[in-house]
Amino acid sequence: MRGAEPLVHCLTNSVVRQITADVLLAAGAAPAMVDHPDEAGDFAAVASGVLINVGNPTTEQIEGMHAAIASARDHGTPWVLDPVAVGGLALRTGLATGWLDHGPAAIRANASEIVALAGAGAGGRGVDSTHDVAVALAPALSLAERTGGIVAVTGPQDIVVTNSGGSTIATWVTSGHPLLQKVIGTGCALGAVTAAYLGAARTAGLPDHDAVVAAHAHVGAAGTAAGRVAAGPGLFAVAWLDALYTLTPEEIADTVTLLDASP
Amino acid sequence: MRGAEPLVHCLTNSVVRQITADVLLAAGAAPAMVDHPDEAGDFAAVASGVLINVGNPTTEQIEGMHAAIASARDHGTPWVLDPVAVGGLALRTGLATGWLDHGPAAIRANASEIVALAGAGAGGRGVDSTHDVAVALAPALSLAERTGGIVAVTGPQDIVVTNSGGSTIATWVTSGHPLLQKVIGTGCALGAVTAAYLGAARTAGLPDHDAVVAAHAHVGAAGTAAGRVAAGPGLFAVAWLDALYTLTPEEIADTVTLLDASP
Amino acid sequence: MRGAEPLVHCLTNSVVRQITADVLLAAGAAPAMVDHPDEAGDFAAVASGVLINVGNPTTEQIEGMHAAIASARDHGTPWVLDPVAVGGLALRTGLATGWLDHGPAAIRANASEIVALAGAGAGGRGVDSTHDVAVALAPALSLAERTGGIVAVTGPQDIVVTNSGGSTIATWVTSGHPLLQKVIGTGCALGAVTAAYLGAARTAGLPDHDAVVAAHAHVGAAGTAAGRVAAGPGLFAVAWLDALYTLTPEEIADTVTLLDASP
Q: Is A56 left (phi over 0), alpha (psi -120 to 50) or beta?
A: left
Question: What are the pLDDT digits (tens) for A167-213?
Answer: 899 999 999 999 999 999 999 999 999 999 999 999 999 999 999 99
What is the overall mean pLDDT for chain B?
A: 94
How many beta carbons lie within 10 A of that of residue B248, not counting itself? 8
> Nearest residue of B to residue C38 by CA position?
B91
Run of H or E including C8: strand C7-11
Distance CA(C39)–CA(B126), nearest Å, equals: 12
Kindly state the helix (H) or strand (E) to which residue B174 belongs, with its residue range: strand B167-174
- Identify the band that residue A166 occupies on the pLDDT scale cut at 50, 70 and 90: confident
- Residue-wise pLDDT for B166-196, tens only, equals 889 999 999 999 999 999 999 999 999 999 9
pLDDT at C112 over 80: yes
Rounded distance between C-alpha atoms, residue C51 and residue C9, angstroms: 6
Answer yes or no: do A36 and C57 touch at CB < 8 A: yes
pTM, entire model: 0.96
Q: Is A260 on the interface with B (CB under 8 A)?
A: no
Beta bridge partners of A164: A167
Evaluate whether B88 touches B123 at the Cβ level (below 8 Å).
Answer: yes
pLDDT above 80 (res C194): yes
Residue A113 CA to residue C66 CA, distance in Å, equals 41
pLDDT score at A127: 53
**Using alpha carbons only, what angle is made at residue B66 by residues B60 and B71, rounded to the nearest 5 degrees?**
125
C245 in reach of chain B (CB within 8 A):
yes
Question: What is the rounded distance in angstroms from the CA atom of residue A45 to the CA atom of residue A77?
Answer: 7
Tell me the pLDDT of chain C averaged across its residues: 94
Please, which residues 166-195 of chain B have a Cβ atom closer than 8 Å to chain C?
181-185
Interface of C with B in 13-52 (CB under 8 A): 14, 17-18, 21-22, 25-26, 30-36, 38-39, 42-43, 46
CA pair distance C61, A189, nearest whole angstrom: 26
CB contact (8 A) between residue B232 and residue C242: yes
CB within 8 Å of A80: residues ≥ 6 apart: A49, A50, A51, A52, A104, A105, A106, A107, A108, A191, A192, A194, A195, A198
Higher pLDDT among residues C2 and C156, named by residue? C156
- Are residues A240 and A223 in contact, defined by beta-carbon separation less than 8 angstroms? yes
Q: Which residue of C has its CA nearest to A27?
A: C182
Looking at the complex, does the CB of residue B124 fall below 8 Å from at least one CB of chain C? no
The set of chains that have 3 or more CB pairs under 8 A with A is B, C
Residue of C105, C117, C110 whose CA lies nearest to C195: C105
Q: What is the percentage of chain A residues whose pLDDT exceeds 90?
A: 89
Across the range C175-188, mean pLDDT stands at 97
pLDDT of residue A158: 96
- The bridge status of strand B167-174 relative to strand B157-164 is antiparallel
Longest dimension (CA), chain A: 47
pLDDT band at C82 (very low <50, low <70, confident <90, very high): very high
List alpha helices for C47-205, DSSP H: 59-75, 90-99, 111-117, 137-147, 186-204
Q: Give the count of Cβ contacts less than 8 A between chain B and C.
A: 95
Closest CA to A193 of A212, A175, A177, A208: A212
Mean pLDDT of B208-229: 98
Closest CA to C217 of C168, C261, C159, C164: C159
Q: Does B89 touch chain C (CB under 8 A)?
A: yes
- Architecture in CATH for domain A7-260: 3-Layer(aba) Sandwich (3.40)
CB contact under 8 A, A14 and B33: yes
pLDDT greater than 60 at residue A121: no
**Quick one: pLDDT band at residue B128, thresholds 50, 70, 90?**
low
Residue to mutate among A56, A92, A181, A242, with most B CBs inside 10 A, is A56
Q: Which residues contact C208 (CB under 8 A, 6 or more apart)?
A: C78, C105, C106, C149, C150, C162, C198, C201, C202
Has residue C38 got a pLDDT over 90? yes
- As a whole number, mean pLDDT of residues A218-237 equals 98
Give exposure, B182-200, as e/b (b: 16+ Cβ within 10 Å): bbbbbbbbbbbbbbbbbbb
Residue A164 confidence (pLDDT):
87
CA of C40 vs chain B CAs: smallest distance (Å): 9
Q: Do C15 and A26 touch (CB under 8 A)?
A: no
Q: Lowest mean pLDDT of B153-167, C68-82, C121-135, C193-207, name the range.
A: C121-135
pLDDT of residue A238: 98
Cα–chain center distance at A71: 19
Q: What is the pLDDT of residue A129?
A: 67
Residue to test with chain C: of A11, A13, A14, A36, most C Cβ within 10 A: A36
Give the span between the Cα atoms of A162 and A160, in whole angstroms: 7
Region A161-169: mean pLDDT is: 91
Which CATH architecture group holds B7-155+179-208?
Answer: 3-Layer(aba) Sandwich (3.40)
pLDDT of C199 above 90: yes
| B139-159: average pLDDT | 96
Taking the CA atoms of B230, B112, B96 and B74 in sequence, report the sign of the dihedral they define. positive
Cβ atoms of B234 and B226 within 8 Å: the answer is: no
Helix (H) or strand (E) holding C17: helix C17-27
Domain range annotation of chain A: 7-260
More confident position, C94 or C126: C94
pLDDT value for C174: 96
For the segment A20-77, what is each residue's pLDDT rounded down to a tens digit?
Answer: 999 999 999 999 999 999 999 999 999 999 999 999 999 999 999 999 999 999 999 9
**Closest CB from B7, B18, B242 relative to A126:** B7
- Chain C residue numbers touching A59 (CB-CB < 8 A): none
pLDDT for B126? 53
DSSP per residue, B78-95: -EEEE-TTBTTBHHHHHH
Task: Tell me how close the Cα of B168 comes to any Cα of chain A, in angstroms.
Answer: 37
Q: What is the pLDDT of residue B139?
A: 96
Percentage of residues in chain C with pLDDT exceeding 90?
A: 89
Per-residue pLDDT band for A165 (boundaries 50, 70, 90) equals confident
Residue-wise pLDDT for B39-68, tens only, equals 999 999 999 999 999 999 999 999 999 999
C1-36: per-residue pLDDT in tens? 778 899 999 999 999 999 999 999 999 999 999 999
Tell me the pLDDT band of C130, cut-offs 50, 70 and 90.
Answer: low
pLDDT digits 0-9 by tens, B63-109: 999 999 999 999 999 999 999 999 989 999 999 999 999 999 999 99
pLDDT number for residue C104: 98
SS3 (DSSP) at A3: coil
Query: Taking CB atoms and an 8 Å limit, are C26 and B232 in contact across chains?
Result: yes
| Distance in Å, alpha carbon of A236 to nearest chain B alpha carbon | 9
Enumerate the known binding-site residues of C for substrate. 33, 185
Q: Which residue in A59, A184, A234 is closest to B60 by CB distance? A: A59
Residues of B in contact with A125 (CB under 8 A): 7, 30, 32, 46
Nearest residue of C to residue A40, measured between CA atoms: C89
pLDDT at res. C125:
54
Per-residue pLDDT for C122 more than 60? Answer: no
Question: What pLDDT is attached to residue B1?
Answer: 76
Closest of A234, C243, A128, C246 to residue B186, by C-alpha:
A234
What is the reported pLDDT for C126? 53
**Residue C189: alpha-carbon gap to chain centroid:** 7
